[in-house]
Chain A
Amino acid sequence: MKEGHSWIIIIGLLVVCSIFSCEKEKSFNRDLEYKAVEQTINNVIGWAVKKDFDLFFKTIADDSNFVSVTPYPRVKFGVEDVENDTAFWASPNFKAIGHELRDLRINFSRNGDVAWYYCVLDDYNTWKGQPVNWEKVRWTGVLEKRNGKWRVVQQHYSWPK
């Protein structure tokens, strides 16, 4: 083995180490992340207009720890629970018209890997032509940045009592 080869290996190892090191030191651009989080929150609801299930399942955590507290008695635990509801949304009887987020507030963790939000949601839909809207729903949630993409890991919808 030539001495030159040893140096190549050592330099290679140093490059790999520096890549990992740089990954942790990426700076946090709040404005950019805010927009990305806002878009993700909108996608959690907005996918339904075009029935873009792929978009929907890319915006929520694809694991068994996902939690979704609905305004009704049901709480969904794990993405599997959400997947079981796709028949309802996929039905031609269900039509999403649009949604609006009001009073949106997003906060970030100190190291920028987690965000949480509060907003008031108006979500307009029909079922067999009849309105099945969610209006003035308080919506909170938590997102985590995973592999460079924000995903909702927990959400909670409610109407005031």
Chain B
Amino acid sequence: MPKMIFLWLVIFLIIGLIISCSNKQNASRADVLQKERQIIEKVINDNIKWALYKDLDLLYSTIQQDSTFLIVNPDASLMEGFAQVEETAKSFWMDPRFKATYSAVKDLHINFAKSGTTAWYYCLLDDFGEWNGRPYQWENARWTGVLEKIDGKWVIRQMHISFPK
């Protein structure tokens, strides 16, 4: 009989530990995701604000540097693969005639996969600048994308920027 009581005590103890661990995991997951959210928010902002300072290293640090990286632009063009980003940087963004003047990320929604290592976002983007003195304005562009945490760093793997019809 005492053996039986002891066994039930052990079982209750194990169940209690499992529930306690689960609650702690949920709390710590929320804390972790909150921190990750702040990091992702910065990555998304850096991905557009690098242009204000022409900080190419900052831009490159925010995106997946391989052939699968994809940008769907508001015009009919796609930017396919990191190599094309590099080409555009050399031929357009780093040209002294291109000047970014203002950008803002608004109404940002970030969601995480259950695993916590992939995230996706939606926001509205304002991005102003000029080419050869002629201003351009992207106002309230819809910007969505996917990020993945690779080797401890969040990088954008695909993005889509558009204007409504």
Contact = CB atoms under 8 A, between A and B. Distances in A.
Contacts, number: 104
Given A9-B7, A113-B113, A118 B158 contact: yes
Interface string B123-152: 000000000000000000010101010100
B74 A161 contact: yes
Nearest to B111: A65
Interface in A97-114: 105, 107, 109-111, 113-114
Interface string B17-59: 0000000000000000000000000000000000000000000
Given A67-B144, A109-B113, A160-B74, A142 B165 contact: no
B96 interface: no
A118 B115 contact: no
A116 interface: yes
Given A142-B120, A156-B142, A13 B14 contact: yes
A156 B164 CA distance: 11
A160 B164 contact: no
14 contacts: A1-B7, A69-B142, A72-B164, A77-B109, A114-B118, A114-B146, A140-B72, A146-B114, A154-B111, A154-B120, A154-B122, A156-B142, A158-B74, A158-B164
Given A69-B144, A161-B75, A138 B111 contact: no
Nearest to B158: A116
A160 B122 contact: no
B158 A69 contact: no
Contacts of B118: 109, 113-114, 144
Interface in A140-160: 140, 142, 144, 146, 153-154, 156, 158-160
Interface residues of B, number: 35
Interface of B: 3-4, 7, 11, 14, 68, 70, 72-78, 109, 111, 113-115, 117-118, 120, 122, 142, 144, 146, 148, 150, 157-158, 160, 162-165
Across the A-B interface, give the 5 residue pairs with the lowest CB-CB distance, nearest first. Answer: A158-B162, A1-B4, A160-B76, A114-B118, A73-B164
Nearest to A74: B164
B143 to A, nearest CB: 9
